[in-house]
Amino acid sequence: MIKLENITFRYGEKLVLDGFSLEIPDRGLTALSGPSGCGKTTLLRVLGGLARPERGKVDGLDPARTAFLFQEDRLLPWRTVGQHITDVLPRSRRGELPRWLAFAELEGEGGAYPSALSGGMARRLALARCAALGGELLLLDEPFAGVDPARAARILEQLRGLGVPVVLASHQAPVLAACDVVIKLDGPPLREARG
Amino acid sequence: MNQGIKKCFKLAIPLVFWLGVWQLAAWAVGQPLLLPGPLAVGGRLLALAGTADFWLSMGATLWRVFLGLFWGAVLGGALAFLTHFFPWADAVASPAIRVVRATPVVSFILLVYLWIPRTAIPWVIAGLMVLPVVWGALSTGLRSLDGKLLELGRAYRFSRWKQLRLIYLPALRPHLSAGLLTAFGLAWKSGVAAEVLCPPDRAIGSRIQQAKLGLETADLFAWTLTIVALSLLLERILRRGLERGNRT
């Protein structure tokens, strides 16, 4: 279990998390749901070590061994689709490029630049880059924004097949339905285990 | 009318017009010592171009200008990174670079004349003019870098070298190109000015100085035309090269 204990976080004057505690399973797919501004992104950033809480601690996780998918694609306009993947792979794993292109359903697009991609394709590339980077935990902020539901379902299954625990934030009902655990962040955290 | 002919006319009409004005002015003045006509200058230019010294002087000047451009750009670039990342470096170096930028080139030429060999003065001066321009362009570029991409580089555990190669340098390329183009013009003018004031053995500036001392006005015009033509040509080549680099 990954344990967040008594986490308090604020952006300037705005209190986003106030003495927040939560246990997250360290296997399978866990979803964080809730309305915009409820702290899903902040929680992911705290887990990924990208935001330092004012108070509280995270146990059972080394933030340096997580891979984070940002809410924005953050693609490099001067790198091709293929280079985005190989840039995060160590030299010994460069041969995995076709596998990750297939993961994102971007076969044949390896030489394209981000400007030539649709919103959904760019999102899938960002997701594949994050998954290729890998680590002990994948933290995905709105991974399927702009991705059509059928593709999202297929990629979600591939994510499950990686065998790496995933914590994702999403608004999309089909995505939430496919996760093993859904944690609602509107008010005190509620856990809803499935399957 | 096809595009090629249109382009020729666009170039030829102003050229013929200004050559005509020049010729009329030369006739009006009536003293070739004060203002030689374009035909006389063209004749001298052709005669000079037939000598080995013309090409050797041109090569020597080009070498000094590019040497100045190189060291000024390398040092200016390094200082831009240093002053961006280290507040102590910014506090120490930035005021000095601004002073260099504000100091007239002639003051520098006369000062360094006292300190370094005459042959080194043109490239040292050219570099001094290039340094603040490249530093300024890259400093602006560094300040405007997308913080989200930098965060991505850290979050994805890119080494410093990888962050430089994949994020910093490509994002800074347009700023560097603009800075280098401006810097090249400055390097060219300041380098030749330094050659005129502190003439080395072989240089375009030295030949201008000789022409002035010998009251050979047609030669003075011919060398000046050479400088202008070379500057325009090299700026065009540099611009094309940088544009090609920005596209890839």
Tokens read off for A3: 């344990």
Asked if the Cβ–Cβ distance from A87 to B148 is below 8 Å, we say: no
Cβ distance B97 to B132 under 8 Å?
yes
Mean pLDDT, 10 residues at a time, chain B of 248 residues: 80 90 92 89 92 93 94 96 94 93 89 88 94 96 95 93 95 93 92 90 90 89 92 90 74
Tokens read off for A52: 């330092």
Torsion of CA A100, A103, A107, A111, to 10 degrees: -40
Distance of CA B183 to the CA centre of its chain: 5
> What residue segments make up the domains of chain B, in order of their start?
1-30, 34-247
B244 has a chain A CB within 8 A of its CB: no
Q: Which residue has 């998954």 as its token pair?
A: A131
Asked if the Cβ–Cβ distance from A74 to B149 is below 8 Å, we say: yes
Asked if the Cβ–Cβ distance from A76 to B170 is below 8 Å, we say: yes
Question: What length is written for chain B?
Answer: 248
* Strand, helix or coil for residue B24: helix
Distance of residue A80 Cα from the nearest chain B Cα, in angstroms: 11
Q: Is B2 exposed, middle or buried (0-12, 13-18, 19+ CB in 10 A)?
A: exposed
- Can you give the pTM of this predicted structure? 0.82
Q: Give the pLDDT confidence score for residue B241 in this predicted structure.
A: 87
Asked if the Cβ–Cβ distance from A78 to B170 is below 8 Å, we say: yes
Identify which of B152, B158, B162 has the shortest CB distance to residue A74.
B152
A89 has a chain B CB within 8 A of its CB: no
Question: What distance in Å separates the CA atoms of residue B106 and residue B10, rounded to the nearest whole number?
Answer: 37
Q: Mean pLDDT in chain A?
A: 89
Amino acid type, B95: P
Question: What distance in Å separates the CA atoms of residue A73 and residue A81, rounded to the nearest whole number?
Answer: 12
Question: What length is written for chain A?
Answer: 195
A112 has a chain B CB within 8 A of its CB: no
* Residues of chain A under the 70 pLDDT cut: 187-195
A113 has a chain B CB within 8 A of its CB: no
Question: What distance in Å separates the CA atoms of residue B203 and residue B122, rounded to the nearest whole number?
Answer: 10
Best CA proximity match to B152, nearest among A91, A119, A60, A133: A133
Looking at residue B36, what DSSP letter applies?
-
B167 has a chain A CB within 8 A of its CB: yes
Q: Give the pLDDT confidence score for residue A84 in this predicted structure.
A: 97
B157 has a chain A CB within 8 A of its CB: yes
CATH of B34-247, one of 1.10.760.10, 1.10.3720.10, 3.30.110.70, 1.10.3330.10: 1.10.3720.10
Q: Give the pLDDT confidence score for residue A195 in this predicted structure.
A: 46
How far is CA B246 from each of CA B162, B175, B189, rounded to the nearest angstrom? 19, 10, 26
The Cα angle at residue A185 between residues A182 and A191, in degrees rounded to 5: 35
B150 has a chain A CB within 8 A of its CB: no
What are the tens digits of pLDDT across the range B21-57? 999 999 999 888 889 999 999 999 999 999 999 999 9
Chains A, B: CB pairs < 8 Å: 27
Q: Give the pLDDT confidence score for residue B223 in this predicted structure.
A: 93
Question: What distance in Å separates the CA atoms of residue A8 and residue A21, rounded to the nearest whole number?
Answer: 9
* Strand, helix or coil for residue B123: helix
Q: Give the pLDDT confidence score for residue B84 in this predicted structure.
A: 95
Asked if the Cβ–Cβ distance from B149 to A76 is below 8 Å, we say: yes
For A35, other C-beta atoms within 10 Å of its C-beta total 10
> At a CB cut-off of 8 Å and minimum separation 6, what does B61 contact?
B122, B191, B192, B195, B203, B204, B205
What are the tens digits of pLDDT across the range A140-173? 999 999 899 999 999 999 999 998 999 999 989 9
Strands A2-11 and A55-59: antiparallel
Q: Which residue of A has its CA nearest to B248?
A: A78
Asked if the Cβ–Cβ distance from A87 to B166 is below 8 Å, we say: yes
Distance of residue B163 Cα from the nearest chain A Cα, in angstroms: 11
Question: What distance in Å separates the CA atoms of residue B153 and residue B84, rounded to the nearest whole number?
Answer: 18
